[in-house]
Homo-oligomer: A and B are copies of this chain.
Amino acid sequence: MVNVQPLDSEPRRGEGTQQVDHPTSQVAVFGADKPLRLDSGVDLTPFQIAYQTYGALNAARSNAVLVCHALTGDQHVANVHPVTKKSGWWETLIGPGKPIDTDRYFVICPNVVGGCMGTTGPASINPKTGNPWGLEFPVITVRDMVRAQAMLLDHLAIDTLFACVGGSMGGMQVLQWAASFPERVFAALPIACATRHSAQNIAFHEVGRQAIMADPEWRGGRYFLEGTNPRRGLAVARMGAHITYLSDAALHRKFGRKFQDRENPSFSFDADFEVESYLRHQGSSFVDRFDANSYLYLTRAMDYFDLAADAGGVLAHAFKGTQTRFCVISFTSDWLFPTSESRAVVHALNASGARVSFAEIVTDKGHDAFLLEEPEMFAIVRGFLGGAGKARGLPQNLAGKAKN
């Protein structure tokens, strides 16, 4: 009963969310016989997953790499984004001859459940009402995202992933994959993430949610129906979150105390400093491509994430008996998911007897480093996948292809 056509009811939504039910992507639709059983106990049905693929699946179906996106990312990891017209968010890492080499691997990147780029989320049409779900959409978890991705793999007849890769919320999904479906993940690459959200992480997210819900145009989440748009609340949420993605040093290097288009203070509330005008731009451009309710749902999913709690309070139990090989990467100046969080993963994996390598990369770029041109990260990803590929029996020696 699975087909690849989008739901055909016509959504009523504002700008920036035209991709919700009819994305510029492949779509897998799961009908009433394939509900997504959520952690909340609710069955989400019908639902669809939008995804992009790159490269070709080999005959043994053994070269699939699942890429999991971060909070505000989406499936357009290695192609021009249909809304922003910008390059894919990991196009430096993924492509022919690149560290995640699409000449060797079949890369799949799905939009997460709760997202707004084609996978079912709060902006999607609720078939029971014909209106966007809004806050009637069930609260989802990282485990729900992963469960949905496993259904996508079934749909694609891929039994085992060669590798599962992601940063930030994407890294949480990688860890959840390794915990929920260890036999389906040959190699796992969680980057710049943690096994749980700290109180400070939750606090920052809560401020963002309150900014959205404080916007009168949010209308209890019914803004599509009421013809409003909580742009300002969402922009403030994005601005605040954006600070946490950068290090103090990176902000200083980029902006310092430089004035914007002037030499002296304006003695006004204009964006005097470059960093102010940069943040305002981050806020206002974000709202053109993201749904405010999706932001609420996905931040909530990250806050709820707690792999140890799910394993009876002992993180190592989450990975008990795992055969997956792991490569954990963190960045020295990442204060959102500091290295100590990655070390905790490594210690738990050690305690589980798992194969694990760990790299802490020295950079002043903060959490965002995982999205940036980081040659050391590129080399580690390439090397780890190469070694794992050998162990997996994937063909080696694609001479003359390496570009990074």
Contact = CB atoms under 8 A, between A and B. Distances in A.
Nearest to A213: B269
Given A207-B279, A214-B215, A279-B207, A269 B300 contact: yes
A202 B269 contact: no
Contacts of A209: 269
Given A240-B240, A269-B300, 15 more contacts: A40-B267, A139-B265, A139-B267, A139-B268, A199-B254, A200-B251, A203-B243, A203-B276, A206-B276, A207-B240, A210-B239, A210-B280, A213-B269, A214-B232, A248-B335
Interface in A27-47: 39-40
- Top 5 A-B residue pairs of the complex, sorted by shortest distance between their CB atoms: A214-B232, A199-B251, A139-B267, A40-B267, A199-B255
Contacts of A265: 139, 304
A273 B303 contact: yes
A199 B257 contact: yes
Contact of A279 (B196, B203, B248, B280): B203
Contacts of A233: 214
Name, among A199, A240, A306, the residue most crowded by chain B CB atoms within 10 Å (CB to CB). A199
A299 B239 CA distance: 17
A359 interface: no
Question: What number of copies of this chain does the assembly contain?
Answer: 2
A252 B216 contact: no
B257 A196 contact: yes
A197 interface: yes
Contacts of A296: 269
A399 B330 CA distance: 57
A239 B207 contact: yes
Nearest to A296: B269
Contacts of A206: 239, 271, 273, 275-276, 279-280
A347 to B, nearest CB: 18
A167 to B, nearest CB: 20
